[in-house]
Structure 1
């Protein structure tokens, strides 16, 4: 059994807890949470798990195979410095650290240690993106020329935006891209690779928050392909659950087009045809976002048990942060940026 410790018990950590508990070769041994009221709730709901008021106490009193860090970015550096060399596998939630320079500092520290650091970027593990990737690789679409994701969660309007779920969103100076768009930076990389150019256009629509909550970025590729992220957190889309896919996606090729709707249904329309055919696949309706947290954490457990290759190691993930910075630079200057990596 892999022994797991979790640091942070905020809103999203409940998905981490659920996923670890559903993995048969994993034991969620301990949780650290600084908020006493949250610890009291955990004590009543999960009496079998050891609870701590600090990350330091959890790390000093337990031998862990995996440390799962589910805290806001401002806490990452301190926890990682304490954990490196003491835990073989460390998983850290995104957004990773507070800046690219801090993330690079941590990556360099981990490079010379006994630990492996992986960033908890789970959207590429959503089943619809895995299915789209397999169809692209099969050649069924022909040459992919265009892709566009329209982010429309509909949760960012009004004076109370984000209070119910993740109130710290309101004070993030960089929001739409740093917190949310980073998912599609990674998804675009997963599906299409690293772009050659980036253009960004960002704006703030809700005056009650600090950062941008709407905008675009465009990835340009050497063969002329374009991948477009069109995000607006105030607007919604057609879906029973607006947080399942968080929007709609279209991938267009010379032979066929794939469409993802808000209910996670995939349709493939061959060129020249009027109607698309529904693609049969397991959407995965447990947990969050097609059970992507479970899929990701299973991926980590499998790797620790000697099964499979590792995705989203810190070395592999750092280019996402470089691309993020270029989006903000482009939005600030109004110019298209060239990607050098």
Structure 2
């Protein structure tokens, strides 16, 4: 066993541990916080976290054992089950991210009708479609015996068995269709949705800049430092919107594209995939399961507050606000800041 194999083993262990802990925290927030449960996007996030936990429990350990043993980690029947789950869970996570993009698009582009268009019932229907879509491809692969251990990825996954060249054409068509209907479709939906969100965000930022100046001129008694803070805050909001969209789309492409391109490249009979590259591309897919909780939930204010409340509950503390240390001038400036932000937020929504 060389150093690269040891590195890959440690990488899978770290990814599995982070994925299991982070996604479990998301489920815990959903269970303990009524505010998180009340949000419609929580349905998509809980589905995504559930799939990521299953990947961390089923697929990552099988890959780790395959790297250690340098062979199929389990018997045929168990490997078929893991292969089925690999196809199902991977497509489910991709489509769940696309569903989150659709939710953000409706929320930003159609804010007045969002509550009627994205009810809990509609979110459940979208998740049901995601499950049926994923189940259709994974069941087809299982019934046609296109699931097995692939040495190139050290994983039980979508794989054409050796000597089955007669069905190579059908397997090639199925694989291309599978990636087109999962990766390509999800990427297209995310790009369309988030670019529309960015368009609307830029439009609102231009309006907000004008309104900010007009509002600050009306508040003649406001401290100059507060005015400056308000203007800086607008620039930060614009940058945050662009940064978040880049993270959503960029992390999706970075984690899934190498693996998908590798799977499509190996369809050519003359191409042989290097096992270390294949395992690394598979680890990138696993990395998405570990990063999703931070990208979509744990770094958001609602989840931070839910985690803080759970920590206080465990430690037996009561939440309180340190308002006694604020000076009168500081309280006045803070009041005006909140007043300006309220006006701006009301305009945005």
TM-score tier after normalising by the smaller chain length: under 0.3
Q: Which structure is higher in strand share? A: 1
Larger radius of gyration: 2
**Which is bigger in relative contact order (C-alpha 8 A, separation at least 6)?**
2
Q: TM-score, normalised by structure 2?
A: 0.22
TM-score when normalising by structure 1: 0.22
